[in-house]
Amino acid sequence: MQDDFSLEPRPGSVRPGGRTARTRQLVLDAALAEVSESGYAGVSIERIAKRAGVAPSTVYRRWRTVENVVLDIADKIATEHIELAPSQDLESDLRALTRGIVTLYRVPVHRTWMDVMVSSAVREERARDTLHQTLMSRIATTSAMVERAILRGEVPPDTDTEEVVRVAAAPLYYRMYITCEEIDEEIADRCARMAALAARNGILTKR
């Protein structure tokens, strides 16, 4: 079953909770531990495989590169921990997102992943590309809530949907990595309110 390990599994080819899922978990845990200890530049497929207790060929077959392993950690974090059930107004949707960010980074491994990536991105182009890809992908996915607000007529049709997500999330990350302050739900709610207000008032339209 070679395709069991392909990056984009065919529907039904991955058995949740089965051997594949367990292997993935082992490898991603090992990769996160390696990256935390050695920084992004110090990590290799061989070291990840050794730590996970699997054959290097298993890791190569499924992920091909360290970048892909690290991107997969980010995907797993995002899909497991931010659940966004659509509501009927943009501010509620954005609040679910910003509260989700606060919750996400209370989990130590997620905070560690982002710490390592932010720190590495400053120094290494490869890490910067990976972080950029991860965030742009999350922003694109999340911006569906703004598309729905456009369809409801809640915000102008030329709203820059991704920019609304950016400005809602930005003050949280700014506190985490620039001013080095705590974040909490009250701050998250305020971010959502501000981004919704700006979107409704047509300030966040496409350039």
Nearer to a second copy, 23 or 120 (CB): 120
Residue 66, token pair as written in the block: 């360290």
Nearer to a second copy, 145 or 165 (CB): 165
Q: Shortest gap between Cβ of 198 and a second copy (angstroms)?
A: 4
* Residues binding a second copy (CB under 8 A): 115-116, 118-123, 128-129, 131-132, 135-136, 139, 163, 166-167, 169-171, 173-175, 177-181, 186, 190-191, 193-194, 197-198, 201, 203-204, 207
Q: Shortest gap between Cβ of 63 and a second copy (angstroms)?
A: 22
Q: Shortest gap between Cβ of 114 and a second copy (angstroms)?
A: 8
Q: Shortest gap between Cβ of 169 and a second copy (angstroms)?
A: 7
Q: What are the C-alpha distances in Å from 61 to residues 18, 45, 134?
A: 18, 11, 22
Nearer to a second copy, 104 or 116 (CB): 116
Measured CA to CA, the distance from residue 207 to residue 136 in angstroms comes to: 18
Measured CA to CA, the distance from residue 100 to residue 75 in angstroms comes to: 15
Q: Shortest gap between Cβ of 13 and a second copy (angstroms)?
A: 32
29, 34, 35, 40: CA torsion to nearest 10: -130
- CA 109-168-28 angle, 5° bins: 20
Measured CA to CA, the distance from residue 111 to residue 113 in angstroms comes to: 5
* φ/ψ of residue 174, rounded to 5: -60, -45
Measured CA to CA, the distance from residue 174 to residue 169 in angstroms comes to: 9
Q: Shortest gap between Cβ of 56 and a second copy (angstroms)?
A: 29
Nearer to a second copy, 22 or 190 (CB): 190
Nearer to a second copy, 109 or 194 (CB): 194
Residue with tokens 């709203």: 159
Nearer to a second copy, 123 or 152 (CB): 123
